[in-house]
């Protein structure tokens, strides 16, 4: 079923949404990590500094993002700013919790090979990254409905 009022969201809008989400999430993650591990947290070269770090840096962001996708109409704050939302690729309806989890885990697959799964969005006819294909999702937005007109010329 076609939806003439919607269009697929491309790479650059999705990239901007991710940047917004990162800027909003990182201060929370860093503040919690410093509260638990102290200012030396940033001097420790280990990827995971302990159990609390794993929960703060890996589990908390995953739970938050998945919850937002399911509970907030397929949007994170960045997607909302960009006017984009994640929907089921077959029905156009909200994503299920299962789809959201698969999509989030698919981010790690999309990072393989220098992030090629994310760049795939720029070449795919439905603007799907590998994580979207895995989860059966697409990212859409309302088409611009206004036409620009000028008084002269």
> Do the domain assignments include residue 32?
yes
Whole-angstrom distance, CA of residue 94 vs CA of residue 85: 9
**Per-residue pLDDT tens for 38-74?**
999 989 889 899 999 999 999 999 999 999 999 988 9
Residue-range definition of the domain harbouring residue 51: 6-142
Computed over every residue of the chain, the mean pLDDT equals 94
> Do the domain assignments include residue 118?
yes
Give, in degrees to the nearest 5, the angle at Cα 29 between 81 and 135.
55
What does the pLDDT read at residue 153? 60
pLDDT band per the 50, 70, 90 thresholds, residue 130: very high
Whole-angstrom distance, CA of residue 132 vs CA of residue 113: 17
Number of domains into which the chain is organized = 1
> Do the domain assignments include residue 47?
yes
> Do the domain assignments include residue 39?
yes
61, with CB counted inside 10 A (0-12, 13-18, 19+), is middle
> H or E element: which one contains 141?
strand 137-142
What does the pLDDT read at residue 122? 96
Q: What mean pLDDT do residues 91-112 have?
A: 97
> Do the domain assignments include residue 103?
yes
> Do the domain assignments include residue 150?
no
pLDDT band per the 50, 70, 90 thresholds, residue 3: confident
């Amino acid at each position: 079923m076609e939806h003439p009022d919607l269009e697929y969201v491309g790479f650059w809008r999705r990239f901007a949404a991710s940047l917004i989400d990162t800027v909003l999430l990182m201060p929370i993650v860093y503040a919690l990590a410093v509260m638990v591990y102290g200012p030396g947290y940033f001097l420790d070269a280990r990827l995971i500094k302990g159990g609390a770090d794993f929960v703060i840096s890996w589990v908390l962001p995953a739970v938050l993002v998945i919850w937002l996708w399911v509970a907030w109409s397929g949007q994170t704050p960045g997607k909302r700013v960009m006017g984009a939302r994640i929907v089921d690729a077959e029905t156009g309806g909200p994503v299920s919790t299962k789809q959201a989890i698969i999509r989030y885990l698919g981010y790690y697959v999309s990072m393989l090979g220098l992030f090629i799964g994310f760049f795939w969005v720029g070449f795919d006819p439905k603007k799907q990254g590998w994580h979207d294909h895995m989860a059966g999702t697409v990212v859409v937005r309302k088409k611009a409905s206004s036409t620009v007109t000028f008084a002269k010329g």
